[in-house]
Amino acid sequence: MAKLVFDIETSALPLEQFDEAQREYLFRESGKIADEAARAARHAEIQQQFSLWPLTARIVCIAMLNADTQRGQVLFTAKDYEEEAGEAGPVEFVPCADEVEMLTAFWDVAKHYDAIVTFNGRGFDVPFAYLRSALLNVPVTRKDWLGYRFQTEPHCDLAEQFTFYGVSGRDGAARRFNLDFYCKAFGIESPKSHGVTGMDVGALLAEGRFREIAEYCLRDVKATVLLYQIWRERLAGIK
Protein backbone atom coordinates (compact mmCIF):
# COMPACT_ATOMS: atom_id res chain seq x y z
CA MET A 1 0.00 0.00 0.00
CA ALA A 2 1.52 3.31 -1.10
CA LYS A 3 1.94 5.71 1.83
CA LEU A 4 2.58 9.44 1.57
CA VAL A 5 4.51 11.13 4.36
CA PHE A 6 3.98 14.88 4.43
CA ASP A 7 4.35 18.01 6.50
CA ILE A 8 3.33 21.63 6.05
CA GLU A 9 4.80 24.98 7.07
CA THR A 10 2.51 27.93 7.71
CA SER A 11 2.86 31.69 8.13
CA ALA A 12 0.51 34.23 9.70
CA LEU A 13 -1.51 36.50 7.46
CA PRO A 14 -0.90 40.26 7.84
CA LEU A 15 -2.92 41.83 10.63
CA GLU A 16 -4.13 44.45 8.15
CA GLN A 17 -6.04 41.73 6.31
CA PHE A 18 -8.60 41.55 9.12
CA ASP A 19 -11.27 44.17 9.71
CA GLU A 20 -11.87 45.93 13.01
CA ALA A 21 -14.46 43.42 14.23
CA GLN A 22 -12.18 40.49 13.45
CA ARG A 23 -9.24 42.10 15.24
CA GLU A 24 -11.40 42.82 18.28
CA TYR A 25 -12.50 39.18 18.33
CA LEU A 26 -8.95 37.84 17.96
CA PHE A 27 -7.52 40.00 20.73
CA ARG A 28 -10.56 40.09 23.03
CA GLU A 29 -8.81 38.07 25.72
CA SER A 30 -5.86 40.44 25.93
CA GLY A 31 -8.18 43.45 25.94
CA LYS A 32 -9.61 42.33 29.28
CA ILE A 33 -6.23 42.55 31.02
CA ALA A 34 -5.91 45.74 33.07
CA ASP A 35 -2.13 45.86 33.38
CA GLU A 36 -0.67 47.51 30.28
CA ALA A 37 2.52 45.44 30.14
CA ALA A 38 0.67 42.16 30.68
CA ARG A 39 -1.93 43.18 28.09
CA ALA A 40 0.76 43.93 25.51
CA ALA A 41 2.52 40.64 26.25
CA ARG A 42 -0.68 38.63 25.83
CA HIS A 43 -1.49 40.56 22.63
CA ALA A 44 1.90 39.54 21.22
CA GLU A 45 1.37 35.92 22.27
CA ILE A 46 -1.96 35.78 20.48
CA GLN A 47 -0.53 37.29 17.32
CA GLN A 48 2.28 34.74 17.42
CA GLN A 49 -0.37 32.00 17.42
CA PHE A 50 -1.88 33.26 14.16
CA SER A 51 0.33 30.84 12.22
CA LEU A 52 -1.42 27.91 13.95
CA TRP A 53 -4.91 28.73 12.68
CA PRO A 54 -6.02 28.27 9.06
CA LEU A 55 -8.31 31.32 9.22
CA THR A 56 -5.39 33.56 10.22
CA ALA A 57 -2.52 31.91 8.33
CA ARG A 58 -1.59 30.37 5.01
CA ILE A 59 0.42 27.36 3.93
CA VAL A 60 3.78 28.32 2.48
CA CYS A 61 5.36 24.89 2.01
CA ILE A 62 4.34 21.23 1.70
CA ALA A 63 6.99 18.51 1.68
CA MET A 64 6.03 14.99 0.57
CA LEU A 65 7.88 11.68 0.40
CA ASN A 66 6.90 8.15 -0.52
CA ALA A 67 7.38 6.18 2.72
CA ASP A 68 9.12 3.31 0.91
CA THR A 69 11.11 4.92 -1.90
CA GLN A 70 11.72 8.28 -0.15
CA ARG A 71 11.20 10.00 -3.48
CA GLY A 72 8.94 13.02 -3.55
CA GLN A 73 8.38 16.74 -3.93
CA VAL A 74 8.62 19.92 -1.92
CA LEU A 75 6.07 22.53 -2.97
CA PHE A 76 6.72 26.05 -1.75
CA THR A 77 5.51 29.55 -2.50
CA ALA A 78 8.27 31.68 -3.96
CA LYS A 79 7.52 34.50 -6.32
CA ASP A 80 10.22 35.12 -8.92
CA TYR A 81 12.18 32.12 -7.63
CA GLU A 82 14.48 30.51 -10.19
CA GLU A 83 15.47 26.88 -9.73
CA GLU A 84 19.18 26.14 -9.72
CA ALA A 85 20.40 24.84 -13.05
CA GLY A 86 21.20 21.15 -13.21
CA GLU A 87 19.56 20.33 -9.90
CA ALA A 88 18.44 16.71 -9.75
CA GLY A 89 17.76 14.03 -7.16
CA PRO A 90 15.08 11.88 -5.55
CA VAL A 91 13.25 14.97 -4.26
CA GLU A 92 12.01 17.69 -6.60
CA PHE A 93 11.75 21.25 -5.30
CA VAL A 94 8.78 22.93 -6.97
CA PRO A 95 8.32 26.71 -6.53
CA CYS A 96 4.69 27.84 -6.74
CA ALA A 97 3.33 31.29 -7.50
CA ASP A 98 0.79 31.17 -4.66
CA GLU A 99 -1.03 28.98 -2.16
CA VAL A 100 -3.73 27.99 -4.65
CA GLU A 101 -1.19 26.58 -7.08
CA MET A 102 0.59 24.75 -4.27
CA LEU A 103 -2.56 23.17 -2.82
CA THR A 104 -3.79 22.18 -6.27
CA ALA A 105 -0.50 20.39 -6.92
CA PHE A 106 -0.60 18.76 -3.48
CA TRP A 107 -4.08 17.29 -3.92
CA ASP A 108 -3.10 16.06 -7.38
CA VAL A 109 -0.30 14.03 -5.78
CA ALA A 110 -2.43 12.92 -2.83
CA LYS A 111 -5.03 11.17 -4.96
CA HIS A 112 -2.41 8.62 -6.04
CA TYR A 113 -1.74 7.39 -2.49
CA ASP A 114 -3.72 4.90 -0.42
CA ALA A 115 -2.65 6.22 2.98
CA ILE A 116 -0.64 8.91 4.75
CA VAL A 117 1.85 9.13 7.60
CA THR A 118 2.28 12.30 9.66
CA PHE A 119 3.47 13.59 13.00
CA ASN A 120 0.50 15.40 14.56
CA GLY A 121 -1.19 15.50 11.17
CA ARG A 122 -4.59 14.64 12.59
CA GLY A 123 -4.48 17.60 14.93
CA PHE A 124 -2.80 20.11 12.64
CA ASP A 125 -1.64 19.41 9.07
CA VAL A 126 -4.73 17.66 7.72
CA PRO A 127 -7.45 19.98 9.11
CA PHE A 128 -5.28 22.97 8.19
CA ALA A 129 -4.96 21.78 4.58
CA TYR A 130 -8.67 20.98 4.41
CA LEU A 131 -9.75 24.41 5.66
CA ARG A 132 -7.26 26.38 3.57
CA SER A 133 -8.39 24.45 0.50
CA ALA A 134 -12.02 25.20 1.29
CA LEU A 135 -11.29 28.90 1.85
CA LEU A 136 -9.48 29.10 -1.50
CA ASN A 137 -11.96 26.85 -3.34
CA VAL A 138 -9.30 24.25 -4.17
CA PRO A 139 -10.86 20.78 -4.71
CA VAL A 140 -9.83 18.22 -2.06
CA THR A 141 -9.15 14.81 -3.61
CA ARG A 142 -8.84 12.88 -0.33
CA LYS A 143 -11.56 13.62 2.21
CA ASP A 144 -11.00 10.55 4.40
CA TRP A 145 -7.71 11.47 6.10
CA LEU A 146 -9.18 12.34 9.49
CA GLY A 147 -10.84 8.94 9.51
CA TYR A 148 -11.37 6.92 12.66
CA ARG A 149 -8.87 7.99 15.28
CA PHE A 150 -8.10 4.53 16.68
CA GLN A 151 -6.72 3.01 13.50
CA THR A 152 -3.67 3.59 11.33
CA GLU A 153 -5.35 3.39 7.93
CA PRO A 154 -5.67 5.56 5.98
CA HIS A 155 -3.85 7.90 8.42
CA CYS A 156 -1.02 6.86 10.68
CA ASP A 157 -0.36 9.80 13.00
CA LEU A 158 2.87 9.02 14.84
CA ALA A 159 2.14 11.58 17.56
CA GLU A 160 -0.82 9.40 18.51
CA GLN A 161 0.98 6.11 18.02
CA PHE A 162 3.90 6.95 20.32
CA THR A 163 1.47 8.08 23.03
CA PHE A 164 -0.85 5.12 22.43
CA TYR A 165 -3.66 7.60 21.79
CA GLY A 166 -2.92 9.58 24.96
CA VAL A 167 -3.38 6.55 27.21
CA SER A 168 -1.48 8.07 30.15
CA GLY A 169 -2.40 11.73 29.84
CA ARG A 170 0.00 14.67 29.85
CA ASP A 171 2.38 13.42 32.54
CA GLY A 172 2.30 9.62 32.40
CA ALA A 173 4.69 7.08 30.90
CA ALA A 174 3.42 7.71 27.38
CA ARG A 175 3.30 11.49 27.63
CA ARG A 176 3.67 13.31 24.36
CA PHE A 177 6.96 14.84 23.18
CA ASN A 178 7.69 16.89 20.09
CA LEU A 179 9.24 15.47 16.93
CA ASP A 180 12.66 16.86 17.84
CA PHE A 181 12.65 14.99 21.16
CA TYR A 182 11.51 11.68 19.65
CA CYS A 183 14.16 11.93 16.96
CA LYS A 184 16.97 12.49 19.45
CA ALA A 185 15.69 9.70 21.70
CA PHE A 186 15.63 7.20 18.83
CA GLY A 187 18.95 8.28 17.34
CA ILE A 188 17.51 10.13 14.34
CA GLU A 189 19.01 13.44 13.21
CA SER A 190 16.68 16.18 14.38
CA PRO A 191 15.19 18.38 11.65
CA LYS A 192 16.12 21.33 13.89
CA SER A 193 19.82 20.42 13.89
CA HIS A 194 20.52 22.92 11.09
CA GLY A 195 19.42 25.86 13.22
CA VAL A 196 15.98 26.44 11.69
CA THR A 197 12.67 25.79 13.47
CA GLY A 198 9.03 26.40 12.67
CA MET A 199 9.25 29.65 14.62
CA ASP A 200 11.64 31.00 11.98
CA VAL A 201 9.35 30.49 8.98
CA GLY A 202 7.74 33.93 9.09
CA ALA A 203 11.08 35.73 9.24
CA LEU A 204 12.59 33.57 6.49
CA LEU A 205 9.56 34.27 4.31
CA ALA A 206 9.86 38.01 4.85
CA GLU A 207 13.53 37.84 3.87
CA GLY A 208 12.78 35.87 0.70
CA ARG A 209 14.66 32.80 1.92
CA PHE A 210 12.13 30.44 0.40
CA ARG A 211 14.49 27.55 -0.27
CA GLU A 212 15.55 27.43 3.40
CA ILE A 213 11.91 26.99 4.40
CA ALA A 214 11.55 24.19 1.85
CA GLU A 215 14.68 22.41 3.06
CA TYR A 216 13.58 22.66 6.69
CA CYS A 217 10.15 21.22 5.84
CA LEU A 218 11.81 18.37 3.95
CA ARG A 219 14.01 17.58 6.97
CA ASP A 220 10.82 17.26 9.04
CA VAL A 221 9.42 14.76 6.57
CA LYS A 222 12.65 12.76 6.31
CA ALA A 223 12.74 12.49 10.11
CA THR A 224 9.08 11.41 10.13
CA VAL A 225 9.85 8.67 7.59
CA LEU A 226 12.64 7.28 9.79
CA LEU A 227 10.48 7.48 12.91
CA TYR A 228 7.69 5.69 11.02
CA GLN A 229 10.08 2.88 10.09
CA ILE A 230 11.01 2.44 13.76
CA TRP A 231 7.35 2.44 14.80
CA ARG A 232 6.44 -0.09 12.11
CA GLU A 233 9.28 -2.45 13.08
CA ARG A 234 9.02 -2.21 16.87
CA LEU A 235 5.57 -1.01 17.94
CA ALA A 236 3.01 -1.53 15.19
CA GLY A 237 0.12 -3.74 16.24
CA ILE A 238 0.23 -2.92 19.96
CA LYS A 239 -3.30 -2.32 21.24
Q: What is the CATH number of the domain that holds 176?
A: 3.30.420.10
Q: Phi first, then psi: what are they for 65, rounded to 5°?
A: -135, 145
Q: Do 168 and 104 fall into the same domain? A: yes
Neighbours of 214 (CB within 10 A): 26
41 in a structural domain: yes
pTM for the structure as a whole: 0.94
Q: Verify that 41 and 115 share a domain, yes or no.
A: no
What's the average model confidence in pLDDT over 174-185? Answer: 96
- Do the domain assignments include residue 239? no
The whole-angstrom separation of Cα 183 and Cα 8 is 18
pLDDT class of 198 with cuts at 50, 70, 90: confident
* Alpha-carbon distances of 237 from 102, 150, 218, 231, 233, rounded to whole Å: 35, 12, 28, 10, 10
Does 122 lie in the same domain as 36? Answer: no
Domain range for residue 26?
19-55
Report pLDDT for 82.
61
Span 106-122, average pLDDT: 97
Give the separation between CA 92 and CA 105, rounded to whole angstroms: 13
Same domain, 85 and 145: yes
Amino acid 155: pLDDT: 97
Q: How far apart are CA 60 and CA 203, in angstroms?
A: 12
- Quick check: helix, strand or coil at residue 231? helix
Tell me if 148 is assigned to some domain. yes
- For residues 142 and 45, membership in a common domain is answered with no
Does a structural domain hold residue 179? yes
Quickly state the pLDDT bin for 1 (edges 50, 70, 90).
confident
Q: Are residues 51 and 85 in the same domain?
A: no
Check whether residue 140 and residue 215 sit in a common domain.
yes
Backbone angles phi, psi at 100, to 5 degrees: -60, -50
Average per-residue pLDDT in the chain?
Answer: 93
Per-residue pLDDT reduced to its tens digit, 201-223: 999 999 999 999 999 999 999 99
Instruction: Verify that 103 and 188 share a domain, yes or no.
Output: yes
Residue 96 lies in a domain: yes
Residues 178 and 77 reside in one and the same domain: yes
Does 201 lie in the same domain as 190? Answer: yes
**Residues 150-175: what's their mean pLDDT?**
94
- Claim to verify: residue 31 and residue 93 sit in the same structural domain: no
Summarize pLDDT for 6-19 with one digit per residue, the tens: 999 999 999 999 99
Look at residue 223 and tell me if it is in a domain: yes
Is the domain of 73 the same as that of 183?
Answer: yes
Count of structural domains within the chain: 2
Residue 86 has pLDDT above 70, yes or no: no
pLDDT-derived band at 143, boundaries 50, 70, 90: very high
